[in-house]
Structure 1
Amino acid sequence: MELRDIEIFLTVAKELHFGRAAERLHVSQARISQAINQQERHLGGALFDRSNRRQVRLTPLGRQLRDDLQPIYTGLHDSLERARLAAQGISGVLTLGSMGPQGLLIQEIMDRFRTRHPNVQLVHREINIVDPLTPLRAGELDVALLWLPIGEPDITVGPVTHTSSVVLAMSASHPYADRTSVTLEDFGDLTFIAHQSTIPGPMEEAFHPFHTPSGRPIARGLVVSDWEDALKRIGAGTAVAAAACEAPRFYPRPNVAYVPVSDAPPIQWAFAWRANDTNPLIHALPAAVPA
């Protein structure tokens, strides 16, 4: 099996969809199907169950092959990347910014980056969630881990690192606090925190839409300066805020309840950097995101 065919198989095994795998690898869906068919003929068994038109499933043989090949492929990819950058003599300092627990969720990526680039110092800094783009634009950060969509022409976005479901943070005495979940339509009954900085509309909409699905406006209230300030306002019952699902674990408060938002789309997180930045280290960090 050629290296490219291994990459194709592992990508389909992750996406469980031939079309998405083709988009991710920038090849035609026919090329994906051809590679998988050849692999199955060579192995003498089916790797995927194709009975569902929308999504395929790994067969037991496919799961075994995925589990065997993934660490080998990752190790080979890391070795080639280390050799390539060593040949270029890449070293220096790379400053990464992230928000709260999100930095912990990319530990595997940072470990892979450090393994590939032992001569690079990776400095990790906190980003203020109510002002996520200013440090990046000011050059205080080389790369930022941000939620999508950003939609700013001066900011380049890399591959998605992980996703988070959405919860609603509110006072523990709020009438909705005892619910098992709330919906985006419920947002129209609530007043959300506001913030001092200018967050691009698409980014704000990801957590705090301006209208409910039926078109009702969603109110904004007290202005906050950072997440700790927001938690104080939320605990006092003066406003609510949507947050990533990791918040209850990392920011438990006796006066704050976190309730899942059942119909909110998952939040996608990705590395982002200034579009005109030519530092080669910047591209080395997104390259550490698993395929």
Structure 2
Amino acid sequence: MELRDIEIFLTLAEELHFGRSAERLHVTQARVSQSIAKQERRIGGALFRRTSRRVELTSIGARLYAELKPAYQQILDGTRSAAAEAARGVHGTLKIGTMGALSQILTATNALFRGHHPGAELDFVEVQPTTPFAGLRSGEVDMALLWLPVREGDLTVGPVVSERPLVCVVGSEHPLAKRDSICMEDLGDYEVPSSQHPLPAYFEEALLPFHTPSGRPIRRGTKIATWQETLIAVTAGAVIQPIQAEAADYYPWPGVKYLPIDDAPMGRWALVWRTNAENPLVRAYVEAVEGRV
């Protein structure tokens, strides 16, 4: 049933008069009659009883009215809300959590967002890799750029913004630094950092597997709380660290070397936000990521 036919039916059900319904809808009385007749043919039964003196709903018509009225009202309310939001535009400050210089991944999106929403501001807050969800859950940030997978019941995972194979960062004096590349099996011969704050196992394993492809355990060593502490431990030769390829672009730290991993899994970054805190700013930014603004 088309929306205009729904409007005609609901109006006649309330007015119970073809002439008044036509006036209220700014259509001809014939248009009202034609619409009702079409609906009755589709349903296979009469919606109204008509006499020379009055119009009444049949039991079928009354049931249809009871079902359509609240649904139609929801459509109207949603349309008005969307129109009001569009009229107001997107305003306010969107706080985005990123892990240090990885905010550079979003440079093009930021320019697109700002161009379409000049009344909105972007504020970037650092997120530590050992406490990736804390800012979202405390409300410190509206959305965060996190590596995948994220499987948290209260968080929504949005579009992927970068996808590249992992690399491994080692100290420049480390035995692996003499090589041009390594493989995932090499991780079983050395220690990797451990987090000072417990991470969900699935989230940690995406970056630091617990076992090599052959099943050897990958030992955890120095406890770290920040990315800078990781780089310090790597520079000292205490640990090696599989990491997203973007780190090599943005952190050319003295005393370290970034090595390709021949059989590396993909490192994927996506925007994540608290499901029950989604707002127009979040939706507008996601649209910018997807190129829909």
TM over 0.5: yes
The answer on whether the counterparts of 1:101 and 1:246 sit within 8 Å (CA) in structure 2 is no
Q: Secondary structure at the match of 1:103?
A: helix
Cα deviation code 1:130-182 (max 9, x no counterpart) = 22111111110001011100111111000111113211111111111111111
Instruction: Map Cα deviations across residues 63-90 of structure 1 (whole Å, 9 max, x no partner).
Output: xxxxxxxxxxxxxxxxxxxx99532543
* Secondary structure at the counterpart of residue 223 of structure 1: strand
Corresponding position of 1:157: 157
- Cα displacement (A) at 1:248: 2.6
Question: Equivalent residue of 2:276, what SS?
Answer: coil
Q: What CA distance in whole angstroms lies between the structure 2 residues aligned with 1:147 and 1:254?
A: 25
The structure with the largest alpha-carbon Rg is 2
TM superposition outliers: structure 1 runs of 4+ over 3 Å: 83-86
Name 1:77's counterpart in structure 2. Answer: none
Q: Distance in 2 between matches of 1:251 and 1:121?
A: 27
Which range moved further: 201-210 or 240-249? 240-249
Q: Name the counterpart of 1:257.
A: 257
Q: How many residues align?
A: 210
| Aligned counterparts of 1:178 and 1:246: Cα–Cα separation in 2 | 22
Q: Which residue of 1 aligns with 2:141?
A: 141
Shift of 1:230: 1.0
Contact 1:167 1:259 in 2 (8 A): yes
d(CA) in 2 for partners of 1:166, 1:124: 25
Residues 201-245 of structure 1: CA distance to partner in whole angstroms, max 9, x if unpaired?
222111100111111111101101211111111111111111122
The amino acid across from 1:231 in the alignment is L
Distance 1:189 1:165, change over 3 A: same
In structure 2, give the amino acid aligned to 1:174.
H
Matched, 1:119 2:150: no
Are the structure 2 counterparts of residues 84 and 118 from structure 1 closer, same or farther at C-alpha, using a change threshold of 3 Å? farther
2:225 counterpart residue number: 225
Q: Which ranges in structure 2 are unaligned for 5 or more consecutive residues?
A: 1-82
Aligned partner of 1:226: which letter?
A: T
Counterpart of 2:284 in structure 1: which amino acid?
Answer: A
SS at match of 1:176: helix
Q: Residue 286 of structure 2 aligns with which residue?
A: 286
What TM-score comes out, normalization by structure 2 length? 0.68
Distance 1:150 1:199 in 2: 11
Measure how far apart 1:285 and its partner are. Answer: 1.0
Q: Does structure 2 retain, via aligned residues, the 8 Å contact 1:150–1:200?
A: no
CA distance in 2, matches of 1:102, 1:187: 25
Q: Distance in 2 between matches of 1:84 and 1:263?
A: 51
Distance change (3 Å), C-alpha of 1:89 and 1:255: closer
User: In 2, are the aligned partners of 1:182 and 1:260 still within 8 Å (CA)?
Assistant: yes
Distance in 1, matches of 2:168 and 2:89, equals 47
Gaps of 5+ in 1: 1-82
1:92 and 2:92 equivalent?
A: yes
Distance 1:84 1:101 in 2: 37
Superposed, which structure 2 residues align to 1:24-103 within 5 Å? Answer: 86-103=86-103
Confirm or deny: 8 A CA contact 2:89 2:117 kept in the other structure. Answer: no
Residues 244-263 of structure 1: per-residue CA shift (max 9 Å, x gap): 22223322233212111111
* Residue in structure 1 matched with residue 202 of structure 2 by the alignment: 202
